[in-house]
Amino acid sequence: MSESNVSRALFDEVMVPTYAPAKMIPVKGAGSRVWDQEGREYIDFAGGIAVNCLGHCHPAMVDAVKAQADKLWHLSNVFTNEPALRLAKQLTEATFADKVFFANSGAEANEAALKLVRRYAVENFGEEKDQIISFKQGFHGRTFFTVTVGGQTTYSDGFGPKPGAIEHSPYNDLAALEALFSDRTCAVMMEPLQGEGGIISADPEFAKGVRALCDKFNALLVFDEVQTGVGRTGELYAYMGLGVTPDVLTTAKALGGGFPIAAMLTTDKLAPSLKVGTHGSTYGGNPMACAVGEAVLSLVNTPEVLAGVKQREQWFRDALNQINEKHQVFAEIRGQGLLVGAALNEKYAGRARDFLMAAVEEGTMMLVAGPNVLRFTPSLIIPEADVKEGLARFERAVAKIVTA
């Protein structure tokens, strides 16, 4: 099929209707700019949902792919490979973790984490210690286990009986969480900053309280850092800024900068519970993906890039506050680093997608986090000129909504 025959209409013809993509089709990206089939330019504030941490086609990533492509593409885990071992060493040296399990997506990393905590509890405390507590409005992926642990029934209802022994507590409410705890509790899974749930930061004292409850009841603490990890908040991982160390951490999205890869990180104490044959992944630890991950982590985990994230956060906050002073559309600007949320006020409640589509029409790509929050997750190294231009286009979109 020729390129001229590939249109948005073809999506409706051949794709399962799980998504409702925009009318335009991007075909090329460079840095924080993207071009569609008609050659129209867009500033990318979406970053593939917090994935393209170094923008599009970063030279270091392109070089890593090209170099590895001439060496080794795939083996499966019947054998190990050098890029996987090097990346695992990078991750353990940079974090609390001693051991790594590689997967392909955040959901798969979370699935591995959930199976690990259940298996560890069974082996060390017995079958009755099976309760997993997570948080309302949380999001942990789309497998049936992870979507059930996630606290949004919109995503988990309608597929038949759900996995059991899963409870949900209000986020940032330590008393409510404590009321659910018992000796039956095997783990708590939480995002240190809820992404899909509306860009809600964990209160540091709440996070410390969760850690203390886990310790009191011999439960494990799992941090889902699929979206917050790899520099997104201005720390390599968000737990580092909270002062709370989990027992298990999951990472994906930005780890490959756009190449599918994920990892579950844990300790020497827990890792033996996933002994040979208890879990696996055909593509997990793929040498191509791990070679890209090496390049990404080496660039992101530097003082210059991480400090630059905080600086860019301020650019966004200042500009969004200025837009709000003029147009009065936001109740608050929230988030951390380059995971920024602009919560709509009551007048525009439920209209986040309207703002998103208007922004696309003006040449800015962005996201929503539910019906009431606009989400900005651009490249961690986006130039100031692109921030200014993208937000100028976004302001024109806001003005269209306000004056419509």
Residue 44 annotated as binding site: no
Residue 22 annotated as binding site: no
Residue 227 annotated as binding site: yes
Residue 1: per-residue pLDDT: 58
Tokens of residue 36, six digits: 């569609």
Please name the residues in contact with 213: beta carbons below 8 A apart, sequence gap of 6 or more.
Answer: 174, 177, 178, 181, 188, 219
Q: Where in the chain is the domain with CATH 3.90.1150.10?
A: 3-58+303-403
Residue 224 annotated as binding site: yes
Residue 226 annotated as binding site: yes
Task: Write down the CATH number for the domain with range 3-58+303-403.
Answer: 3.90.1150.10
- 193 C-beta neighbours (distance < 10 Å), count: 24
Instruction: Give the C-alpha separation, 8 to 35, whole Å.
Output: 15
Distance, CA of 70 to chain centre: 30
Instruction: Give the C-alpha separation, 135 to 113, whole Å.
Output: 16
Instruction: Give the C-alpha separation, 10 to 22, whole Å.
Output: 13
CATH architecture under which domain 71-300 falls:
3-Layer(aba) Sandwich (3.40)
CA atoms within 13 A on the CB side of 301: 21
User: Could you give the maximum distance between any two Cα atoms of the chain, in Å?
Assistant: 63
Q: List the beta strands (DSSP E) in 216-336.
A: 220-224, 248-251, 262-266, 330-336
- Are 369 and 333 contacting, i.e. CB atoms less than 8 angstroms apart? no
Cα-based distances in Å from 226 to 53, 69, 193: 13, 26, 10
Residue 225 annotated as binding site: yes
pLDDT truncated to tens, each residue of the chain (404 aa)?
555 689 999 999 999 999 999 999 999 999 999 999 999 999 999 999 999 999 999 999 999 999 999 999 999 999 999 999 999 999 999 999 999 999 999 999 999 999 999 999 999 999 999 999 999 999 999 999 999 999 889 899 999 999 999 999 999 999 999 999 999 999 999 999 999 999 999 999 999 999 999 999 999 999 999 999 999 999 999 999 999 999 999 999 999 999 999 999 999 999 999 999 999 999 999 999 999 999 999 999 999 999 999 999 999 999 999 999 999 999 999 999 999 999 999 999 999 999 999 999 999 999 999 999 999 999 999 999 999 999 999 999 999 999 98
Q: Where in the chain is the domain with CATH 3.40.640.10?
A: 71-300
Backbone φ and ψ of 366, nearest 5°: -150, -170
Residue 266: per-residue pLDDT: 98
Residue 2: per-residue pLDDT: 56
Residue 293 annotated as binding site: no
- Are 374 and 367 contacting, i.e. CB atoms less than 8 angstroms apart? yes
Residue 328: per-residue pLDDT: 97
Residue 142 annotated as binding site: yes
Residue 244 annotated as binding site: no
Residue found under tokens 């970063």: 58
